[in-house]
Chain A
Amino acid sequence: MKIVTGLATAQEVEPLIEAGADELFCGVVPEAFVDGLGRSRLNRRYEPGANFADLAELAGVVKRAAAKNVPVAVTLNEHAYAPALIPTLVELAGTLVAAGARALIVTDLALILAIRRAGIAVDLHLSSVATCYNSEAAAFFADIGIQRVILPRYLSTRQIARLCAAGVPVDYEVFVINDGCGFEEGLCLNVHRPFGPMCQMDWRPEVGPEPVAGWEENWRAYRHLMGLLDHPGGTVSPQGIPNGPCGVCALAGLKAAGVGYVKVPGREYSTALRLGGLRLVRTVLDWVEGGDPAEVVAERARALKDTPLLCDSTYLCYFRDDLARAKPGRSRPRRVTLDDLAAAARFQAPARDAVPVPDGSLAGGAAPPPAAAGTKPDAGDPDGARLLGMAEALAGKGIDLRWAGDRLELVFPDDAQPDGTSRVTVAKVDRAASCYARSGNLGLSYAGTALTPRIARLIANLVGWLQRPRA
């Protein structure tokens, strides 16, 4: 069983390999390509810093990884592309392969067919976004030239075992840490940017007209589930292990099922987070491959994570059918209450200063000393200048940009609300999100560095300046 890890920057190649990555995957969005994309994206990770912008940089990364016998795959896995883009994408695929990419991670049937028709000699890995759930589907994709199927989240180990047992000539890869999804990523067709994931919105449900037994508890549990899937992103435990979704307890079961590859994704998150996740997976996998019994492995994995509050909630487990392994002697997970979920959710929100972030080199430079509130951001700082331009343009459209402690909000008029305003959170400091504005509607965007304390300070300073007393 091999570990496939997301790669976001060139500096990460050796650390990730030394921590146990057998394969790497990354995104490449060449600058020259962006204008031609229109409303399309090249892959499923849009966050600034999640993709390489330079093919030469990719070639360098591939060469360094190859020196350690580690192949690199590149993602071209958006749900679907406009047909007019396909010839350009095929050309890009050829360029990526020429730069050394060993495989391409793909979703769109049109692109798969076009790459094969073009005769590009490269392995194709079917992205989880393609939602291949069964052996007939795997055979369908094998017939058109797929070598590996990355399974969607939330298949159980039992379902995966049945799928693998069907004997379709493809390899299987599964998520084991980091990335959750409130829906099924391949079937979630809303636009995450700039409005945020729909599953994370603060909905007001209307049921009835008759009361529904147990509704309130169910709704609260569901909101906790969605919150847990979202908030851990970008945070790690005191042990340096990611707090997000996890399936390491099931590694033994997955290996026995016939899964050949496990994924440590999270290009949108910090290096520290991926390294922490990778080390956990490597350690547990070594136990599995050393022949330790599955139940022992699961129990030791829980102990290694040392976040019983999260593990016991069960809501962060990719493979909830495999939970019994983590509780030797128990056939069912222990009883969980809403209070347990609430406590788990609180665990996900450490104090801002405690949030581990990449060091200065990864954040784009050492953090500057805090500026006095109300001081105009330094136009010589590229991030400060871009934020300043965005905020001024927003203000001109009657939209406020506000810093609310741990998050950046856009506040805009909305007559339907009691206070006459609606808010959209555009960035939170507890995850390595980018800052962005309602670019779709306003033609504005800020595509800056991931949200580090340095950027947070710039934003806080900017908002202070915007709110300064004016003559």
Chain B
Amino acid sequence: MAAVSQPVAGTAATPGPEWAVGAGVREIRAAEAAGSLRPVDGGWSTTLASGESVLFRRLYAGAEFCRHLIPSRAQWTAVLALARRRRVPVTLRTPPVTEEALARLAIVLRALSGVQGAEVVANDWGTLRLVHRRFPGLRPILGRCLRRQKKDPRVGELAMSGAMSPETLDLLARWGVDLVEADCLPDDASPIALALHLPFAFVASGSLCLLSGLGRPVEEKFRPDRPCRAPCRGRAVRLHHPACRAPLLLRENTFFAARGVGGPPLARPDVARLVYDLDTDVDRSFLRPGPVGRP
């Protein structure tokens, strides 16, 4: 199998961006069972569809876009147990949050504080402030929702790639942020380290969630104020339109456009981390199926 002879990205032997995998416990177990992820000491190895072997050395878990999907304490305990078992550090993804959701999030943050190497991706300025004030041991990362990169799959190239001003960088430094998440790379080298998401870029998100309406009477559908039973779990919808060359992917409350994996931009020195969103890539379309070779 050609992949076995490929260099393994994200290892000490091949300096480059660190790879992380974004998934919940269920997705990790399913991928392990399918052979798409192979547990190794300190992470998981996999082979991308491109043939490149990759070692995931960090686990991203939690909800990035929907406040209804903030993990419960029990769910988060399971994530931490998995991370301990695989000996990987964890990063908690957090969504934009209302007052009530922020209170729920604080419970998870408390459970995370004190865990070695733990990080928090803040997609809400309030979360960033809360982490800074009350959980200084957690490394804050600026999330994609706070980095307003224009992106549109109907446009050949992205309209604006989200460079950051010196004022913003100064402020982020004061808040302890030294890593920023991105869907696409700025034209020029970023003065702050980037964590690039693969294989999808998010293009739009919001509270009027299509999938949340499943199983509800018409008058109760799409109500952001209602508790949600998360009928989106494990489900994705592809949206086709002639204006888009590839279908968009609807996951949770968010539209994604495929951006693929690999390519020269990934080798940029300002890209410190690559985050493979396995739970967005529901059918693991960018991973080579079946057992993978040990690196």
Chain B, residues 14-44, CB within 8 Å of chain A (1/0): the string is 0000000000000000000000000000000
Is there a chain B Cβ closer than 8 Å to A5's Cβ? no
- Tell me the chain B residues, 146-198 only, with Cβ under 8 Å from chain A: 148-156, 159-160, 162-168, 170-171
Q: In the assembled complex, how far is the CB of residue B221 from the closest CB belonging to chain A, in whole angstroms?
A: 5
Instruction: With A113-B171, A154-B224, A189-B148 as known contacts, state yes or no: A133 contacts B124, CB within 8 Å.
Output: yes
- Tell me the chain B residues, 219-251 only, with Cβ under 8 Å from chain A: 219, 221-225, 235, 237-243, 247-248, 250
Instruction: With A117-B167, A424-B243 as known contacts, state yes or no: A199 contacts B222, CB within 8 Å.
Output: no
Is there a chain B Cβ closer than 8 Å to A331's Cβ? no
- Interface pair B165/A114, CB less than 8 Å apart: yes
- Interface pair A184/B205, CB less than 8 Å apart: yes
Chain A, residues 100-117, CB within 8 Å of chain B (1/0): the string is 000000011110011001
Contact among A79, A158, A203 for B241, CB-based, below 8 A: A203
- Interface pair A155/B98, CB less than 8 Å apart: yes
Contact among A203, A205, A335 for B219, CB-based, below 8 A: A335
Contact among B124, B165, B170, B248 for A134, CB-based, below 8 A: B124
Is there a chain B Cβ closer than 8 Å to A337's Cβ? yes
Instruction: With A135-B126, A205-B238, A416-B242 as known contacts, state yes or no: A187 contacts B205, CB within 8 Å.
Output: yes
- Interface pair B240/A203, CB less than 8 Å apart: yes
Q: Using CB atoms, name the residue of chain A closest to B255.
A: A198
- Tell me the chain A residues, 82-104 only, with Cβ under 8 Å from chain B: 82-83, 86
Is there a chain A Cβ closer than 8 Å to B215's Cβ? yes
Number of A-B pairs whose CB atoms are under 8 Å? Answer: 221
A206 CA to B202 CA in the complex, in Å? Answer: 19
A191 CA to B155 CA in the complex, in Å? Answer: 8
Q: In the assembled complex, how far is the CB of residue B143 from the closest CB belonging to chain A, in whole angstroms?
A: 11
Q: Which of B49-57, B110-118, B127-135 contacts the other chain?
A: B127-135
A156 CA to B67 CA in the complex, in Å? Answer: 14
- Chain B residues with CB under 8 Å of A314's CB are 219
Is there a chain B Cβ closer than 8 Å to A11's Cβ? no
A interface residues, how many (CB within 8 angstroms)? 84
Contact among B65, B150, B239 for A203, CB-based, below 8 A: B239
Contact among B148, B235, B242 for A186, CB-based, below 8 A: B148
Q: Using CB atoms, name the residue of chain A closest to B156.
A: A441
- Interface pair A183/B208, CB less than 8 Å apart: yes
B interface residues, how many (CB within 8 angstroms)? 67
Q: In the assembled complex, how far is the CB of residue B72 from the closest CB belonging to chain A, in whole angstroms?
A: 20
Q: Using CB atoms, name the residue of chain B closest to A161.
A: B99
Contact among B162, B224, B235, B242 for A80, CB-based, below 8 A: B162
- Interface pair A218/B214, CB less than 8 Å apart: yes
- Interface pair A218/B225, CB less than 8 Å apart: no
- Chain A residues with CB under 8 Å of B171's CB are 109, 113, 144
Contact among A39, A140, A337, A338 for B159, CB-based, below 8 A: A39
Q: Using CB atoms, name the residue of chain B closest to A197.
A: B204
A218 CA to B208 CA in the complex, in Å? Answer: 12
Is there a chain A Cβ closer than 8 Å to B102's Cβ? yes
Is there a chain B Cβ closer than 8 Å to A321's Cβ? yes
- Interface pair B242/A414, CB less than 8 Å apart: yes
Q: Using CB atoms, name the residue of chain A closest to B147.
A: A80
Interface-central residue, A131, A138, A158, A182, by most chain B CB under 10 Å: A131
A213 CA to B224 CA in the complex, in Å? Answer: 21
Q: Using CB atoms, name the residue of chain B closest to A226.
A: B208
- Interface pair A213/B215, CB less than 8 Å apart: yes
Instruction: With A117-B167, A190-B204, A191-B152 as known contacts, state yes or no: A417 contacts B223, CB within 8 Å.
Output: no
- Chain A residues with CB under 8 Å of B126's CB are 132-140
A190 CA to B163 CA in the complex, in Å? Answer: 17
Chain A, residues 410-432, CB within 8 Å of chain B (1/0): the string is 00001011000010100000000
Chain A, residues 338-377, CB within 8 Å of chain B (1/0): the string is 1011000000000000000000000000000000000000
Q: Using CB atoms, name the residue of chain B closest to A315.
A: B222
- Chain B residues with CB under 8 Å of A195's CB are 152, 154-155, 243
Q: Using CB atoms, name the residue of chain B closest to A321.
A: B225
- Interface pair B237/A205, CB less than 8 Å apart: yes
Is there a chain A Cβ closer than 8 Å to B263's Cβ? no
Contact among B163, B203, B208, B214 for A82, CB-based, below 8 A: B163
- Interface pair B150/A191, CB less than 8 Å apart: yes
Is there a chain B Cβ closer than 8 Å to A393's Cβ? no
Is there a chain B Cβ closer than 8 Å to A212's Cβ? yes
A416 CA to B99 CA in the complex, in Å? Answer: 47
- Interface pair B237/A140, CB less than 8 Å apart: no
A207 CA to B239 CA in the complex, in Å? Answer: 9
- Interface pair B97/A183, CB less than 8 Å apart: no
- Interface pair B102/A86, CB less than 8 Å apart: no
Q: Using CB atoms, name the residue of chain B closest to A109.
A: B168
Q: In the assembled complex, how far is the CB of residue B68 from the closest CB belonging to chain A, in whole angstroms?
A: 13
Query: Which 7 A-B pairs have CB atoms at the shortest separation, nearest pair first?
Result: A136-B126, A183-B206, A137-B126, A110-B165, A156-B225, A79-B148, A113-B167
What are 27 contact pairs spanning A and B, CB under 8 A? A80-B149, A107-B148, A110-B167, A133-B126, A134-B124, A136-B102, A140-B128, A156-B224, A163-B98, A166-B99, A183-B255, A191-B152, A191-B154, A191-B159, A198-B203, A199-B204, A218-B213, A221-B218, A222-B221, A225-B221, A332-B219, A333-B219, A334-B219, A336-B217, A338-B218, A340-B218, A422-B243
The residues of B with any CB-CB pair to A shorter than 8 Å are 65, 96-102, 124-130, 145, 148-156, 159-160, 162-168, 170-171, 202-208, 210, 213-215, 217-219, 221-225, 235, 237-243, 247-248, 250, 255
- Given A110-B167, A189-B150, A335-B219, 20 new contacts (CB under 8 A): A83-B165, A86-B167, A110-B164, A110-B165, A114-B165, A114-B167, A133-B99, A136-B102, A140-B128, A162-B98, A184-B207, A187-B204, A190-B152, A191-B152, A191-B159, A203-B239, A203-B248, A207-B235, A221-B222, A440-B155
